């Protein structure tokens, strides 16, 4: 695989929840236009690390982050960085589908509206349509854009949330176990979608399912007890891991 530009670089990242050292000395480089999967047993810190990448951890009072996380060479924890602006660039999809209790249209239009991405209604309509198409849900909802987003099925809701996340034209898309609440069919749809999104965004996905990581990602990072144990090409991690802990995990002996 040819090497791509580095989108996000994390150097010596430490995360503390009060006195708990949750992330220990993580160094990782996330490439542009690549799907990077974070795998590891529960509580290993993969979600915590993911939430550092768009500073969602700021909302937790006791959480403290040390080290540098560079997005395009700029430290996102710099004092000059406004997390709100950062989150427009680094979108996020959550574990549980969480559409706003508003219409499908408003769900997608909300981000562009608050960021002033559309000059008029027609442009906004365009953005909504484009985002819903990218979320691979347009055909299912185009006739009922005024229906509440909460009325969709779980898989549709999650794709709506992805459409909502891409509507603000982010550069990186973070996904925190996006399929854990979905059935296998919806999961397959979302995975297919993730593969398509790779052409435009750098996607980081946290997953509990190793099969999923193997299916959708090009790079995989294995976390264990707050350490980044191994990071490399997905194929290599799953076929020929260097670290014995990685091997134990992917063969099902720990986790």
Partner 1 sequence: MTDMSQIPGAAPTAKPKGGSLFEKDARTKRRNAAESRFKMYGIAAIGIGLLMLIVLVTNIVTAGTGAFQQTYLELDVDLKADKLDKKGNRNIEDIKKVSTFGYAPLISAALESEVKKLGIQTDLKPKAMGKILSKAAQAELRNYVLANPDEIGKTVSFRFLTNSRVDGYMKGRVSRESIANDKSISVEQLDFVDQLRDAGVLYKAFNPDFIFGADASDQRPEAAGIGVSMLGSLFMMFVVLALALPIGVAASIYLEEFAPQNRLTDIIEVNISNLAAVPSIVFGILGLAVFINYMHLPTSAPLVGGLVLTLMTLPTIIISTRASLKAVPPSIRDAALGVGASKMQAVFHHVLPLAAPGILTGTIIGLAQALGETAPLLLIGMVGFIASNPPDGIVAGFLSPNSAMPAQIYEWSKRADPAFYERAWGGIIILLIFLVTMNTIAVLLRRRFERRW
Interacting residues with partner 1 (CB under 8 A):
54, 56, 59, 61, 84-85, 87-88, 91-94, 96, 98-101, 110-111, 114-115, 150, 161, 164-165, 167-168
**Minimum distance of partner 1 from residue 107's CB (angstroms):** 9
The answer to whether the beta carbons of residues 214 and 238 sit under 8 Å apart is: yes
**Minimum distance of partner 1 from residue 221's CB (angstroms):** 21
**Minimum distance of partner 1 from residue 115's CB (angstroms):** 6
Nearest residue (CB) to partner 1, 156 versus 234: 156
Nearest residue (CB) to partner 1, 116 versus 184: 116
Paired sense of beta strands 20-31 and 35-39, if any: unpaired
**Minimum distance of partner 1 from residue 62's CB (angstroms):** 8
**Minimum distance of partner 1 from residue 22's CB (angstroms):** 18
The answer to whether the beta carbons of residues 46 and 39 sit under 8 Å apart is: yes
Nearest residue (CB) to partner 1, 148 versus 255: 148
* Helix%, strand%, coil% for the chain, nearest 5: 40, 25, 35
Nearest residue (CB) to partner 1, 41 versus 83: 83
Which structure tokens are listed for 83? 């997390």
Distance between CA atoms of residues 185 and 194, nearest Å: 14
Q: Select from 247, 251, 180, 255 the least CA-distant residue to 225.
A: 255
Which structure tokens are listed for 209? 């399912």
């Amino acid at each position: 695989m040819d090497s791509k530009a580095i989108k996000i670089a994390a150097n010596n990242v430490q995360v503390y929840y009060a006195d708990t050292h949750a992330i220990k000395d993580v160094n990782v480089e996330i490439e542009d236009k690549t799907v990077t999967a974070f795998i590891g047993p529960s509580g290993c810190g993969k979600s915590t690390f993911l939430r550092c990448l768009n500073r969602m951890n700021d909302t937790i009072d006791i959480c403290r982050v040390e080290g540098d996380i560079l997005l395009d060479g700029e430290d996102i924890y710099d004092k000059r960085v406004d997390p709100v602006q950062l989150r427009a660039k680094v979108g996020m999809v959550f574990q549980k589908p969480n559409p706003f209790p508003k219409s499908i249209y408003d769900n997608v239009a909300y981000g562009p509206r608050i960021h002033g991405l559309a000059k008029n209604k027609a442009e906004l309509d365009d953005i909504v349509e484009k985002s819903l198409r990218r979320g691979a849900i347009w055909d299912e909802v185009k006739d009922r854009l005024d229906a509440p987003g909460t009325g969709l099925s779980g898989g549709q809701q999650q794709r709506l949330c992805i459409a909502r996340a891409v509507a603000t034209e982010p550069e990186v898309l973070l996904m925190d176990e996006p399929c854990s609440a979905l059935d296998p069919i919806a999961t397959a749809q979302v995975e297919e979608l993730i593969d398509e999104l790779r052409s435009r965004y750098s996607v980081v996905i946290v997953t509990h399912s190793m099969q999923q990581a193997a299916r959708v990602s090009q790079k995989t990072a294995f976390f264990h007890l707050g350490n980044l144990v191994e990071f490399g090409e997905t194929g290599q991690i799953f076929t020929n891991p260097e670290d014995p802990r990685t091997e134990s995990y992917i063969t099902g002996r720990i986790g």
